[in-house]
Amino acid sequence: MKTARQCIIVLLTLLEFSHASIDRRSLVSRYNPVRNASSSVTPMQVGNGNFAFGADATGLQTFLPYAIMSSWGWKNDSLPTNRTMEDILQYQGVSWWNHDRLVTYTFDGDAETQQWLIANPNRVNLGRTGLVFFSEEGDIANVTESDLSNINQELNLWTGNITSRFVWEGQEVAIETHSHQSTGAIGIVISSPLLEQGRLGLFLDFPWNDGTSKFEAPFVGEFNLTSNHTTTLLTNDTPGSRIAAQIAHTMNNCTFWTSLGGGRFNISRDSPETHRYTVRPAAQASSEFAITLAYSLDKPVSTPAVADIVRSSTQAWEDYWTYGGFVDVLTGSSDARADELQRRIILSRYLMRVNEAGDTPPQESGLVNNGWYGKFHMEMFFWHSAHWALWNDWDLLDRSSSVYSRFLPTSIERAQTQERWDTGARWGKMSDPSGRSAPGEINELLIWQQPHPLVFAEYEYRAFPTRATLEKWRDVVKATADWMADFAWYNETMGVYDLGPPMYVVSEDTSPNVTTNPAFELSYWKFGLALAEQWMVSLGEEVPANWTTVKSNLAPLPIENGTYAVYEGIPSDFWYTPTYTNDHPALTGLYGWLPETPGLNITMAKLTAEKAWAYWNISNCWGWDFPMLAMSAARNGETEQAIEWLLHPLFQFDDVGMPIGGARVPTPYFPGSGGLLYAVAMMAAGWDGSNRDAPGFPTEGWQVEVEGVSRAL
């Protein structure tokens, strides 16, 4: 199936190449990040979506402990004092009424147990590796970055490798860093005359990190809490073995493996009190030293050779740049902002594939550092990953979109036992790879994650309109829509179906007990139920009557004083009340992020968006709000405004393309990058019903070439 799909993509791309001519390689390479010093905030990275390696100016973690993280490296902390696993499993929160149903939620139960459930499992920093410098006498030299000169580092985007050069004590050093593309292996090649003199080596170290802090940025874990964890060195003298040494790193119940292969070397532990090991290349009068460091959950029997890692990286990255979607806004544009927009596009494409193409949805900070203990948020999955669908990177999206079928059983269970809704699946929020959603009032009462799988399914069917696609998503679509229909509550007085209370809206800042019929969620419900109905029709199955009844009779969108309102009953002067205009401006998503939904008055939606542009507290927005604002401007025909939102001064990407967290959250905050790519795709390739090329761009000053990018809904 996947192979067939890849063939289709290759074929489509080849067909496009017969008439299109974006010089992809030179456009990509134009934005290769270059540094002459380490950043204290963001690493340069290599990786593959499931695994990423953050580097300082030496291409390793010599001076700064940037993280090595993965989609599979998770562990549990020890249990809270005086609590057993049984207590954890039996955790119960409070019961709140949802109209006539008493619903049991997982919050406000035993505080210790609840916090453990929120913070566990947490995502592990797999280790650190860096250069060791030796004096002429052979002692370890105390070197800082300021002792180096002529630092010059380049990330080659086209092949996914970092080249780092500098001079130490008058001698040149060059380091190549490559990441394998299907395992957690790094290939390191060091070239320097210092090697011949026995004056360069590597160290490996292992931090303790746990759920004490919700955010761990820019670095993850502590290297001085050495008694909390253990490491053990195993060496292997078997001639010809691909693995020369292994370090088992055990934190509580979990062991992570680091396997070293490649060049000949000696390895020893610095002292029993630390987890630091020193690798010295065997004396062999060579000015080059190549080594593989492979990180894994299971103890491997082999590691890829450095040459295999280089091949794997070069091939996978060239394929990605060559066969995925591509947008050129630079060539032929006279608008001075085109260069910066193109830079953001290219660097976001790189960083999304390094950080956000794993087997589970990404955390907000990808594989750079930890936020929310390393967990991922199901409502943010759209902003992280829907762009893959528009840019036609189906092999990458398939990895994580499969969570919907994997999490289906636990989401059905959530609806039934926890929430006592009898039908359907309620998707969780702040999640770990098992599908368990963390306790918490907002986590439990948020609902806008619910329709997302319908959108992912719809895009997949548009790309692959086959029976197999329909069947693949059938159970997910059905259970998703069943719960949506069941959650809506029939208000007999009004003769409509209400959403909430209690519930939280997208902006998470209204009182859940009074929040009823929010405009965005009502529209998303209508839109989602319509997609689900069509799915059944395409399958040739009967559309459940409740879906249609609910969809057609949902409460009308709330209106206050001539614009749409956040929710029904909000004070009519809410636009001028800071507490209501201070987080995600989801009202602008009514027409922009969402297409025209039944009953939406486009004129009023535009008035609403303009009101948000003027009155929302933009300085407190989150990264993805800017692409959402751009999409509303674009769909409303305000193309100049759309460009301004994408390049807004409060929406920044640093020199290597990391999206700045801004006022709300540490850097990076990748929903900003995912949102940017989704918005750019929509503005460049259009949306259903748009009727000119690049409909989101101004006609003056911009020339936009698009290859292999699909329209947005």
Ligand X SMILES: *[C@@H]1O[C@H](CO)[C@@H](O)[C@H](O)[C@H]1NC(C)=O
Residues that bind ligand X (CB under 6 A): 36, 76-79, 82, 85, 96-97, 142, 144, 154, 156, 159, 161, 163, 176, 210, 222, 224-225, 227-228, 252-253, 310, 314, 423, 482, 485-486, 491, 493-494, 511, 513, 544, 546, 561-562, 568, 572-573, 601, 603-604
- Token pair, residue 291, equals 């080594």
For residue 610, CA distances in Å to 521, 630, 636, 695 come to: 20, 12, 10, 19
Give CA–CA dist 458/537, Å, rounded: 13
Give CA–CA dist 160/199, Å, rounded: 29
SS3 (DSSP) at 447: coil
With beta carbons less than 8 A apart as the criterion, state whether 575 and 611 touch. yes
CA angle 579, 585, 589 (to 5 degrees): 150
With beta carbons less than 8 A apart as the criterion, state whether 293 and 185 touch. yes
Nearest residue to 503 via CA among 565, 574, 449, 563: 449
- Token pair, residue 252, equals 């509580």
CA angle 278, 283, 286 (to 5 degrees): 110
With beta carbons less than 8 A apart as the criterion, state whether 37 and 649 touch. no
Long-range contacts of 547-554 (CB under 8 A, 24+ apart): 547/481, 547/482, 547/484, 547/485, 549/485, 549/497, 550/484, 550/485, 550/488, 550/497, 550/525, 551/525, 551/526, 553/495, 553/496, 553/497, 554/488, 554/496, 554/497, 554/499, 554/522, 554/525, 554/526
Categorise residue 49: left if φ over 0, alpha if ψ from -120 to 50, beta otherwise. Answer: left
Beta strands in 23-91 (DSSP E): 34-35, 44-47, 51-55, 68-70, 74-75
Q: State the burial class of residue 166 (Cβ atoms within 10 Å of its Cβ: 0-12, 13-18, 19+).
A: buried
With beta carbons less than 8 A apart as the criterion, state whether 587 and 564 touch. yes
- Helical ranges in 296-435 per DSSP H: 306-323, 338-355, 381-390, 394-401, 403-406, 408-413
With beta carbons less than 8 A apart as the criterion, state whether 684 and 677 touch. no
Q: Given the structure tokens 């990040």, which residue do they identify? A: 33
Residue type present at position 314: T
Q: State the burial class of residue 149 (Cβ atoms within 10 Å of its Cβ: 0-12, 13-18, 19+).
A: exposed
51-55/101-104 β-pairing: unpaired
SS3 (DSSP) at 423: coil
Helix axes 602-615, 625-635, angle to 10 degrees: 140
Residue type present at position 334: S
